[in-house]
Amino acid sequence: MDRRAFLQHASVPLGAAALDRWLPAGADAASPAPTPGPAVQATRRSSVVVVGGGAFGAWTALHLREQGHSVTLVDAYGPGNSRATSGDETRQLRIGYGDRELYARFAQRAMAAWRQREAEFGVPLLVQTGRLELAPDWTPGMRATAAMLPTLGATVEAMGHDDLRRRYPQLNPEGIGVGLLEPDACVVRAKQAIVTVAKTFVRKGGTLSVARVQPGRATGRRLDELVAGDGSRLSADAYVFACGPWLPRVFPELLGKRIAVPGRDVYYFGLPAGDDRLAHPNFPNFSESAYYGFPSVDGRGVKVCPTTGPASFDPDTDERIVSPHQVRRARAYLAMRFPSIKDQPITETRVCQLENTPDEHFIIDRHPDWDNVLIAGGGSGHAFKHGPVMGEYVARRALGEATDPAFDAMVRLAK
């Protein structure tokens, strides 16, 4: 069955207008006028199917399309869906990465790319909140961040206990000796960003389709086709599998032991009436060993995420209901650190999952059996921010073009 037949048969091909239903009405009503983005190059060179429309897949599909390739993006539940790791409301963009310089450099390029894309899309995606890392004393990671950011031309500010008390009276600094502020860090409206990337991909001539697919027939070292749930097939020159937490399911032998999928709760605690001391722009993103979170953005309340949760989570079937035990722990933390919201109710919750590799490096590499298949994932809790730059990188890898050898080695499948 050819590509057109697949799209008619196996799936719901979506136009950009159809994607509007993934966002609340008027979500981008206050949008600034878009600026021109990269034009689609005129010559079509290869056909590529990208499986998975999350942070890795949606951006990869857009980059490939902008290079003039014939691209189909296939997602089982649609880009930015609420089961996807990228389908949560918000994610953080920061440059500070401890001593992991390659990621810091990628994140810095990504930060600039997000700004350009935000202008191109005409959709307000970024909120510059800053990020405050807190610890009893300097950790090796904080020292490395404080040393590295100035070398990259990025701003960082160190504070002691008394500085924190003076500057942030809404924070109880008990037990905190050091605060490291990265003022340029942002919150990105994640779900909205992914839907916008997918819409732009379609507007630029890409094909988007809702179907669950898996690898089908292969000839020698080439995969010939993908097979959808109803048996219909889709062929292309190259395939990118960017299936996030589903990667171990798509390639159980290869990735079953390399990618773990633990669950994570996300809570939004309401602010007291008339009190915006913990809302943007009055307080930054915050992070300490057991919790991190964001100030209230878009009126959602203070976002709080524990860094622990169930060791294993099924992204298809597990209920997205938070754990009462974790809620009690989070409330105790808030009562201590942010006393003004200790009695406030939870206003929203999310349950998400990670796709963790043992060394927390992404996995971006050829499938060992098929030369025309690239795997891209293993986000390990930090991939979203890299989307616009990572998409370009994955697109180049999928087409066998040159990339940074040091980064290639870091994200290899077998180490």
Ligand X SMILES: Cc1cc2nc3c(=O)[nH]c(=O)nc-3n(C[C@H](O)[C@H](O)[C@H](O)COP(=O)(O)OP(=O)(O)OC[C@H]3O[C@@H](n4cnc5c(N)ncnc54)[C@H](O)[C@@H]3O)c2cc1C
Number of residues forming the site for ligand X (CB under 6 A): 39
Nearer to ligand X by Cβ, of 177 and 381: the residue is 381
Residue with token string 């087409």: 399
Window 11-50: contact mask with ligand X (x via CB under 6 A): ----------------------------------------
Q: How far is 384 from 376, CA to CA, in rounded Å?
A: 13
Give the Cα-Cα-Cα angle 411, 100, 119 (nearest 5 degrees).
85
| C-beta atoms surrounding 55 within 10 Å | 31
Window 228-257: contact mask with ligand X (x via CB under 6 A): --------------xxxxx---x-------
Nearer to ligand X by Cβ, of 338 and 384: the residue is 384
Window 52-71: contact mask with ligand X (x via CB under 6 A): xxxxxx--------------
Closest by CA to 365, choosing from 329, 330, 400, 326, is 400
Nearer to ligand X by Cβ, of 72 and 353: the residue is 353
Nearer to ligand X by Cβ, of 85 and 296: the residue is 85
Q: Considering the rule CB under 6 A, would residue 295 count as an interface residue with ligand X?
A: no
Q: What is the dihedral of CA 354, 358, 361, 367, to 10 degrees?
A: -90
How far is CA 299 from each of CA 103, 207, 268, 344, 348, rounded to the nearest angstrom? 31, 35, 10, 14, 11
Nearer to ligand X by Cβ, of 167 and 396: the residue is 396
Window 301-320: contact mask with ligand X (x via CB under 6 A): ----x---------------
Closest by CA to 386, choosing from 53, 107, 80, 154, is 107
Task: Answer yes or no: are the C-beta atoms of 307 and 292 closer than 8 Å.
Answer: yes
Backbone angles phi, psi at 387, to 5 degrees: -40, -55
Window 351-390: contact mask with ligand X (x via CB under 6 A): -xxx----------------------x-x-xxxxx-----
Nearer to ligand X by Cβ, of 226 and 271: the residue is 226
Q: What are the start-end ranges of the H helices in 209-251?
A: 247-250
Q: Is 287 helix (H, G, I), strand (E, B) or coil?
A: strand
Q: Considering the rule CB under 6 A, would residue 96 count as an interface residue with ligand X?
A: no
Q: Considering the rule CB under 6 A, would residue 106 count as an interface residue with ligand X?
A: no
Sign of the CA dihedral running 278, 279, 284, 286 = positive
Q: How far is the CB of 165 from ligand X (least distance, A)?
A: 27
Q: How far is the CB of 89 from ligand X (least distance, A)?
A: 11
Nearer to ligand X by Cβ, of 111 and 173: the residue is 111
Window 198-227: contact mask with ligand X (x via CB under 6 A): --------------xxx-------------
As separate numbers, helices (DSSP H) first and strands (DSSP E) second, the chain gives 12, 23
Residues that bind ligand X (CB under 6 A): 51-57, 74-77, 81, 84-86, 91-92, 212-214, 242-246, 250, 264, 266, 305, 352-354, 377, 379, 381-385
